[in-house]
Chains A and B, each alone.
Chain A
Amino acid sequence: MANELQLSREEAAKWKGGNGALSGAGGDFWIGVLAGRARAFSSGGTAAQPSYDHAGPAVRPGDELNGLLREQAKIRKQFAGLLDGTGIGRGAGSLKPDLYWELLNADDVAVATLGASYSRNSGGNVQAADTFYYASGGYYVTLTLHQMWPVDVNGKPHTLIWRGDMVSSASLADLHGVEKLGSESAMMKDIAKSIALFRRESAH
């Protein structure tokens, strides 16, 4: 089993060898991992997520999410009302999440992820939080926050959207100086591209 895979020791111990692809024994293994982690999230939020520790120092998804938010105190304060009701960086919250899984391409490697979305409408101001609280590789966790306000532009109703994206990844620690600036630029471009695509599709 590749050391790059982000699993707990208990999960890794269930691996019976063979092809790791999502077919046959490999598929059964990954279904077990994903289902187990989704159940743990439902019952105990990210605090209940097993660490990534099968091949190195333990990395706890809940700690990573809390670390991201700690670095952005203003954002954390702005979204405190929403986040306090979620399982993001804590135990299961009072809000009911929409749970999902996705298979992504992360640095040319297939990565299985588990996600949860929350939203809250408070007097017309909508806040939303979307997290990948598990990834089999590539990065540890992500968190995307949205705040939406109804606005009037030239007499027509529109929505003003603020969005913040946070990523925690081992590869971030390897980047310094201009490399980190370049990565930020690349990420901003990618997000801007997805926003433009979303606006184009939603205009029809």
Chain B
Amino acid sequence: MVPRYFSRHLLAATFLTAATGSFASDFWPAEYSFEETYVGEASVSRGPHHVQDFDESDTLLRLILTPRVKLGVLRLGFQYEQFSFGLSENAPLPNTLQSVAAVIGIDTQFSDSILVRLETTPGVYSEAFRPGSNVFNMPFEIGGIYIYNPDLQFVVGVSVDVERKYPVFPGGGIRWKFQPRWVLNAVLPTPRLEFEWNKNLTLYAGATLKETNFRMSDDFGREHGIPKLDHAVLTYSEVRAGGGIDWKVTSWLSVNAEAGYQPYRNFDFYRASIRFHEDGSAPYGMIALHGAF
């Protein structure tokens, strides 16, 4: 007799579930997240120029409908992100970076082993929506997952953004459940080592990598004493490293809390060859609500 082995992912398989089927027939399935991060006071520098002791608030809101179609699962929604820095008026950096974008994508199966995601986020990536900064941009990404087995998957992908210094940027990682309660989820931009304390509580340690391009307003440079930064493109990037917990409160709501350190931060006006990088790090705390239904 062939032994039958049912893993959770195998069981969690299928187009044929009574539970989700009846629910999905009434509503379009969706996933959402609301995330707020506070980073304590830190500094950046550019040669002898220092911008000191400013804090950061990062707010992220995302709602994506995920209806099932013949080709796979559509991803249709929007996302909003705002970085607010506690900078002084004379600082040569933007106090607020904001983006609002649609999310248009699809997850589809190429074979029993390969899943592919195509997704674009067309929108405005601006300096506080000020005049001249509301320029449309449409970064997109293509990623693939190779499912070796339910416990091991390989991820490769490429991100494309014409406003970026290097417009095409590769990425990838591995998701490996190497013990029943341990998962190495080393996939960018949030590589993690996860421990499933119980069905509803996961502890993790890992990092979050962020990089987004924003357009400055028409007079940003003149207002901040560096005229060539008028209408410039800023690549803002940061890395956070820490630990957190993810508590599944209900089937549609999870609470995520995380704390750690921000070891890397970079404001790069790369076309103007002006770059401010971290000069002292700071602790951070994050709380998020997320889920799917």
Q: Specify which chain B residues have a CB less than 8 angstroms from the CB of A165 in the assembled complex.
A: 14, 16
Residues of B within 8 A of A185 (CB): 109, 111-115, 147
Cβ distance B127 to chain A, nearest Cβ, rounded Å: 33
CB–CB A178/B107 < 8 A: yes
Q: A183-B12, A185-B109, A190-B10 are in contact. Are A174 and B251 (CB under 8 A)?
A: yes
- Given contacts A177-B29, A178-B73, A180-B73, is CB(A169)–CB(B2) below 8 Å? no
8 Å CB contacts to A: which residues of B207-243?
A: none
Q: CA–CA, A174 to B150, complex, Å?
A: 16
Cβ of A171 under 8 Å from chain B? yes
Q: Which of B160-215 contact A (CB under 8 A)?
A: 180
Number of contact residues on B: which range applies? 35 or more
Question: Is B31 at the interface (CB under 8 A from chain A)?
Answer: yes
CB 8 Å contact bits of A169-193 with B (1 = contact, 0 = none)? 1111111111111111111111010
Q: Is the CB of A186 within 8 A of B7?
A: yes
Most buried by A among B9, B13, B75: B13
B117 touches A178 (CB 8 A): yes
Cross-interface CB contact of A168 among B19, B23, B107, B145, cutoff 8 Å? B19
Residue from B6, B113, B115, B251 within 8 A of A178 (CB atoms): B115
A201 to B, closest residue via Cβ: B2
Interface status of A40 (Cβ within 8 A of chain B): no
Once the chains bind, are A71 and B11 in contact (CB under 8 Å)?
A: no
Identify which of A41-49, A103-111, A154-162 touches chain B.
Answer: A103-111
A121 at the interface (CB under 8 A from B): no
Total A residues in contact with B, Cβ cutoff 8 Å: 46
- B153 touching A188, Cβ below 8 Å: no
B61 within 8 A of A: no
Given contacts A71-B21, A172-B17, contact A194 B153 (CB under 8 A): no
- In whole angstroms, how far apart are the Cα atoms of A171 and B249 in the complex? 15
Taking the nearest CB of chain A, how far is it from the CB of B203, in angstroms?
Answer: 18
Check B115 against A176 for contact (C-beta < 8 Å).
no
Task: Give the residues from 60 to 110 in chain B that come closer than 8 angstroms, CB to CB, to chain A.
Answer: 66, 72-73, 75, 107-109
- Chain B residue with Cβ nearest A108: B180
CA distance A138 to B10 in the complex (A): 11
Asked if B49 is an interface residue, CB under 8 A from chain A, the answer is no
A to B contact number (C-beta, < 8 Å): 150
Q: Which of B5, B13, B18 contacts A184 (CB 8 A)?
A: B13
Tell me, in angstroms, the Cα distance from A167 to B8 when the chains sit together.
Answer: 12
- List of A residues within 8 angstroms of B5 by Cβ: 104-105, 190
* B22 at the binding interface (Cβ < 8 Å): yes
| Among A108, A173, A188, contact of B20 (Cβ-Cβ < 8 Å) | A173
Cβ distance B151 to chain A, nearest Cβ, rounded Å: 9
Q: Is A102 an interface residue (CB 8 A)?
A: yes
Min CB distance B42 to A, Å, is 35
A35 CB to closest chain B CB (Å) equals 22
Partner of A173, one of B19, B72, B114, B149: B19
Q: How many Å from the CB of B194 to the closest CB on chain A?
A: 15
State which of A68, A106, A175 has its C-beta within 8 Å of the C-beta of B18: A68
Docked-complex contact A71 and B10, CB < 8 angstroms: no
A72 at the interface (CB under 8 A from B): yes
Interface residues of A in 12-27 (CB under 8 A from B): none
Q: How far is the CB of B97 from chain A (nearest CB, A)?
A: 28
How many angstroms from the CA of A60 to the CA of B2 in the assembled complex? 28
Residues of A within 8 A of B66 (CB): 176-177
CB distance from B173 to the nearest CB of A (A): 15
Closest residue of chain A to B15 (Cβ to Cβ) is A184
Please report the C-alpha to C-alpha distance between residue A187 and residue B17 in the assembled complex, in whole angstroms.
13
> Which residues of A pack against B, CB within 8 Å?
63-64, 67-68, 70-72, 102, 104-108, 111, 138-139, 165-190, 192, 194, 197-198
16 A-B pairs within 8 Å (CB atoms) are namely A64-B18, A67-B19, A67-B22, A68-B17, A71-B18, A106-B7, A108-B7, A138-B11, A172-B11, A175-B12, A177-B66, A177-B73, A178-B115, A181-B72, A186-B9, A189-B112
* 8 smallest beta-carbon distances between A and B, as pairs: A67-B18, A187-B13, A176-B292, A166-B16, A183-B13, A107-B8, A183-B12, A106-B6
Beyond the given A107-B7, A180-B12, A183-B150, please list 4 additional residue pairs across the A-B interface where CB-CB is below 8 A: A63-B18, A165-B16, A182-B115, A185-B111
